Amino acid sequence: MNTETDNAGTHRENIHPGLVVDVILKKDQATGKLTRGVVKDILTNSSVHPRGIKVRLKDGQVGRVWAIVRQSSGKPGT
């Protein structure tokens, strides 16, 4: 798996339910600890947010998207 960290997480158009993402939870903002999960709901209304789009993960945790996880097909070159 690759992660995309080129500010894709700051643009709402790049986020959708079912997407695997790394988020920073509110409690982890000081340490920058990442939590991986699957997007259930998009909570940010604006199209862009400089600290990342706020989402609710399927497990109920809420955080700001730091990176979008790109799932490779397992084939060479992907």
Write down all domains in the chain, each with its CATH number in brackets: 2-70 (2.30.30)
Confidence (pTM): 0.82
**How far apart (Å, rounded) are the C-alpha atoms in residues 62 and 35?**
10
What is the per-residue pLDDT for 21? Answer: 97
12 in helix, strand or coil? Answer: helix
Given pLDDT bands bounded at 50, 70 and 90, which one contains residue 70? Answer: confident
**Residue 53 near residue 39, CB atoms below 8 Å:** no
Enumerate helices (H) and strands (E) in the chain, giving the number of each: 0, 5
| pLDDT tens by residue, 5-62 | 557 899 999 999 999 999 999 999 999 999 999 999 999 999 999 999 999 999 999 9
φ, ψ at 10 (rounded to 5°):
-95, -5
CB atoms within 10 A of CB 36: 13
